[in-house]
């Protein structure tokens, strides 16, 4: 659409921004990619280090302003928690003890609850329920701030259930490590934690995930830096029915099984297709990790999930780009082609650009937020659980609609030269009141605006527009929109 004369004059007079070509997208009001369940994070390993910090819990799981190391952060308002059931313990059993990869980062070995094969009774001394207190503490802080979706996930079964007793993986990385006589015992382990959490921690897990990137060939006990375990698809197919029946027998039949947390969209399609109908029937939710970034056939996985009637989550995403550029790019690709109903960042605190807040889990030290934190805030604070996900009509924006508040949310990024982005709401029954103020928030990728807010945008008929610098992310909340 044409840029209004008034804006051209304003910019011409003050010489702020030369007027460039602009682009328009029409939000597809009739589209519906499901009800948004939320945004989240996995707790291991940052919460093992920082699980007692209320300031971090405020920043991650509330919408309040939180002061972290003297910096006031807009709370991300995440409501999904992935709790990691550890695989590590220091005890010996009949002279046998855990084997460690020479490369393993001790902080990435998470203490597990089941110490030995003597007894499956959670009240027996074979279970140590006091371990891993900080990860549990953060989970409970999250809950008290409003988190309402909890997933229990495993990177590896307990070490003593593994052929080589090494929770970083098999000796060559590409073969199964769970002993074939322990398939059911692994299901007993996770189901027992789920029941114990319900009875003792006040946490009812909504889902349980037994496999983490199971088809990968890098879960290697000789070179691994963390816990991990390869599972052939045929093995997953045998474990899944045990997990279903062990959950059911503990009165947890409403707890979903999610699978298989493959590393890429393409691997997830291949694994899903490889499971037989019995195994597929046990799964309520397909999880996938977003490590294929700009590649992979997201649509193919969406089509598999949709035709099977399963929920679909991007259950783990992370990268080393501290600017937020890759993150916003990949979230948009996910909304446009994968259509997950939840999106989970891997580690809140980490180094090397991976963290939303830079820190060192092992040293227990924190510095400041990355720009990626503010880019993610542009999404998590506005696209909220319960909203209907819409087709934005373009590859530079996402859109969601709050049916009860009659609010339309658009988050957009401008990759190219500075220009106006125009948004056409003409497909809505009521596109809002012409002249209404549209609040907007802005974060500049890399540096600049950090979730700054402005009230300088108005609806003009059924359209509005905003001037975007190169690499600027803006969020808009349009009031009074009726489908
Ligand atoms: C890995 O080790 C297993 C068990 O020893 C073996 O069956 C498999 O062929 C090995 N795979 C590779 C790629 O070396
Ligand atoms: C699927 O695989 C499991 C485990 O191998 C087996 O018990 C079950 O009978 C299979 N189901 C079908 C429909 O083939």
Residue range 416-469, pLDDT digits in tens: 999 999 999 999 999 999 999 999 999 999 999 999 999 999 999 999 999 999
Q: What is the pLDDT of residue 301?
A: 98
Out of 389, 422, 446, a domain closes at: 389
Q: What is the pLDDT of residue 1?
A: 37
Q: Tell me which ligand sits closest to the C-alpha of residue 220.
A: 1
Q: Is residue 159 part of a domain?
A: yes
Q: How many domains is the chain partitioned into structurally?
A: 2
Q: Is residue 394 part of a domain?
A: no
Question: How far is Cα 268 from Cα 58, in angstroms, rounded to an integer?
Answer: 34
Q: Is residue 479 part of a domain?
A: no
Q: Is residue 480 part of a domain?
A: no
Same-domain check for residues 11 and 122: no
Same-domain check for residues 450 and 328: no
Percent of the chain with pLDDT over 70: 96
Same-domain check for residues 359 and 461: no
Q: What is the pLDDT of residue 15?
A: 40
Tens digit of pLDDT for each residue in 324-334?
Answer: 999 999 999 99
Residue whose CA is at the smallest distance from ligand 2 atom 9: 278
Dihedral, CA of residue 266, residue 261, residue 347 and residue 162, to nearest 10:
-130
Res. 2: pLDDT tops 80: no
Q: Which two tokens stand for residue 190?
A: 């996770």
Tens digit of pLDDT for each residue in 93-142?
Answer: 999 999 999 999 999 999 999 999 999 999 999 999 999 999 999 999 99
Q: What are phi and psi of 179, to 5 degrees?
A: -60, 140
Q: What is the pLDDT of residue 415?
A: 96
Answer whether 0.85 is exceeded by the pTM: yes
Active site residues: 213, 316
Domain CATH for 410: 2.60.40
Q: What is the pLDDT of residue 9?
A: 39
Same-domain check for residues 23 and 45: no
Residues enclosing ligand 1, CB less than 6 A? Answer: 172, 174-175
Distance 173 CA to ligand 1 centre (A): 8
Distance 174 CA to ligand 1 centre (A): 7
Distance 375 CA to ligand 2 centre (A): 45
Residue whose CA is at the smallest distance from ligand 2 atom 11: 278
Q: Is residue 1 part of a domain?
A: no
Query: What value does the mean pLDDT of the chain take?
Result: 95
Angle (deg, nearest 10), helices 133-144 and 54-61: 50
Distance 241 CA to ligand 2 centre (A): 9
Question: Are residues 42 and 361 in contact, defined by beta-carbon separation less than 8 angstroms?
Answer: no
Residues enclosing ligand 2, CB less than 6 A? Answer: 237-238, 276-279
Res. 12: pLDDT tops 70: no
* Atom number in ligand 2 closest to CA 279: 1
Out of 355, 389, 423, a domain closes at: 389
Q: Which two tokens stand for residue 58?
A: 């405020």
Q: Is residue 483 part of a domain?
A: no
Tens digit of pLDDT for each residue in 142-170?
Answer: 999 999 999 999 999 999 999 999 999 99
Q: Which two tokens stand for residue 163?
A: 């052929």
Same-domain check for residues 199 and 277: yes
Q: Domain span at residue 422? A: 7-30+404-474
Same-domain check for residues 104 and 228: yes
Tens digit of pLDDT for each residue in 206-260?
Answer: 999 999 999 999 999 999 999 999 999 999 999 999 999 999 999 999 999 999 9
Same-domain check for residues 306 and 442: no
Residue whose CA is at the smallest distance from ligand 1 atom 6: 175
Best mutation site among 166, 171, 174, 177 for ligand 1 pocket (most ligand atoms within 8 Å of CB): 174
Mean pLDDT value of segment 193-208: 98
Out of 342, 364, 389, a domain closes at: 389
Dihedral, CA of residue 254, residue 206, residue 140 and residue 124, to nearest 10:
60
Question: Are residues 68 and 76 in contact, defined by beta-carbon separation less than 8 angstroms?
Answer: no
Q: Is residue 119 part of a domain?
A: yes
Q: What is the pLDDT of residue 37?
A: 99
Q: Is residue 398 part of a domain?
A: no
Q: Which residue has the tokens 């550890």?
A: 86
C-alpha 218: how far from its chain's center?
A: 22
Same-domain check for residues 302 and 322: yes
Q: Which two tokens stand for residue 80?
A: 């999904």
Mean pLDDT value of segment 300-316: 98
Mean pLDDT value of segment 394-408: 98
- Provide the pLDDT confidence category of residue 273 given band limits of 50, 70 and 90: very high
Percent of the chain with pLDDT over 90: 95
Q: Which two tokens stand for residue 409?
A: 């949310």
Res. 14: pLDDT tops 90: no
Q: Which two tokens stand for residue 198?
A: 């319900």
Best mutation site among 237, 240, 243, 244 for ligand 2 pocket (most ligand atoms within 8 Å of CB): 237
Domain CATH for 127: 3.20.20.80
Distance 176 CA to ligand 1 centre (A): 9
Residue whose CA is at the smallest distance from ligand 2 atom 14: 276
Q: What is the pLDDT of residue 185?
A: 98
Same-domain check for residues 153 and 292: yes
Question: Are residues 392 and 336 in contact, defined by beta-carbon separation less than 8 angstroms?
Answer: yes
Same-domain check for residues 165 and 18: no
Res. 397: pLDDT tops 90: yes
Tens digit of pLDDT for each residue in 171-195?
Answer: 999 999 999 999 999 999 999 999 9
* Atom number in ligand 1 closest to CA 163: 4
- Provide the pLDDT confidence category of residue 21 given band limits of 50, 70 and 90: low
Tens digit of pLDDT for each residue in 332-377?
Answer: 999 999 999 999 999 999 999 999 999 999 999 999 999 999 999 9
Same-domain check for residues 307 and 429: no
Q: What is the pLDDT of residue 10?
A: 40
Residue whose CA is at the smallest distance from ligand 2 atom 8: 278
Same-domain check for residues 148 and 173: yes
Q: What is the pLDDT of residue 406?
A: 98
Distance 151 CA to ligand 2 centre (A): 26
Tens digit of pLDDT for each residue in 29-51?
Answer: 999 999 999 999 999 999 999 99
Q: What is the pLDDT of residue 175?
A: 98
Question: How far is Cα 127 from Cα 52, in angstroms, rounded to an integer?
Answer: 23
């Amino acid at each position: 659409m044409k840029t209004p004369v008034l804006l051209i004059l304003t910019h011409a007079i003050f010489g702020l921004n030369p007027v460039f070509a602009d682009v328009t997208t029409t939000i597809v009001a009739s589209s519906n990619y499901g009800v948004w369940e939320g945004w989240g994070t996995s707790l291991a390993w940052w919460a093992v280090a920082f699980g007692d910090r209320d300031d971090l819990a405020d920043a991650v799981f509330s919408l309040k302003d939180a002061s972290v190391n003297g910096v006031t952060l807009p709370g991300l308002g995440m409501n999904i928690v992935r709790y990691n059931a550890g695989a590590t313990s220091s005890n010996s059993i009949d002279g046998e003890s855990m084997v460690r990869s020479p490369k393993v980062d001790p902080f990435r070995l998470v203490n597990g609850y089941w110490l030995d094969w003597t007894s499956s009774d959670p009240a027996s001394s074979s279970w140590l329920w006091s371990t891993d207190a900080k990860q549990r503490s953060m989970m409970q802080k999250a809950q008290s701030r409003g988190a309402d979706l909890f997933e229990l996930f495993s990177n590896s079964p307990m070490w003593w259930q593994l052929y080589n007793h090494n929770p970083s993986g098999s000796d060559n990385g590409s073969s199964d490590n769970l002993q074939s006589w322990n398939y059911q015992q692994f299901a007993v382990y996770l189901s027992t934690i789920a029941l114990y959490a319900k009875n003792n921690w006040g946490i009812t897990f909504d889902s349980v995930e037994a496999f983490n990137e199971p088809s990968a060939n890098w879960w290697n006990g000789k070179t691994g830096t963390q816990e991990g375990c390869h599972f052939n698809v045929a093995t997953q197919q045998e474990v899944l029915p045990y997990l279903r029946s062990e959950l059911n027998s503990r009165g947890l039949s409403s707890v979903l099984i999610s699978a298989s947390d493959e590393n890429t969209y393409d691997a997830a399609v291949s694994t899903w297709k490889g499971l037989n109908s019995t195994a597929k029937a046990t799964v309520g939710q397909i999880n996938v990790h977003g490590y294929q970034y700009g590649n992979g056939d997201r649509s193919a996985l969406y089509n598999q999930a949709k035709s099977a009637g399963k929920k679909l989550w991007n259950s783990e995403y992370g990268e080393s780009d501290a600017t937020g550029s890759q993150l916003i790019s990949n979230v948009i690709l996910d909304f446009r082609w994968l259509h997950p109903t939840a999106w989970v960042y891997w580690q809140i605190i980490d180094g090397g650009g991976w963290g939303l807040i830079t820190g060192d889990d092992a040293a227990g030290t924190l510095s400041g937020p990355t720009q990626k934190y503010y880019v993610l805030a542009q999404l998590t604070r506005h696209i909220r659980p319960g909203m209907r996900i819409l087709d934005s009509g373009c590859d530079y924006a996402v859109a969601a609609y709050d049916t009860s508040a009659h609010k339309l949310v658009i988050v957009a990024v401008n990759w190219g030269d500075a220009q106006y982005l125009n948004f056409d709401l003409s497909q809505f029954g009521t596109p809002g009141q012409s002249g209404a103020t549209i609040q907007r928030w802005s974060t500049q990728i890399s540096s600049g605006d950090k979730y700054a807010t402005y009230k300088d945008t108005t609806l003009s008929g059924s359209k509005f527009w905003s001037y975007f610098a190169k690499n600027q992310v803006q969020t808009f909340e349009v009031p009074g929109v009726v489908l």
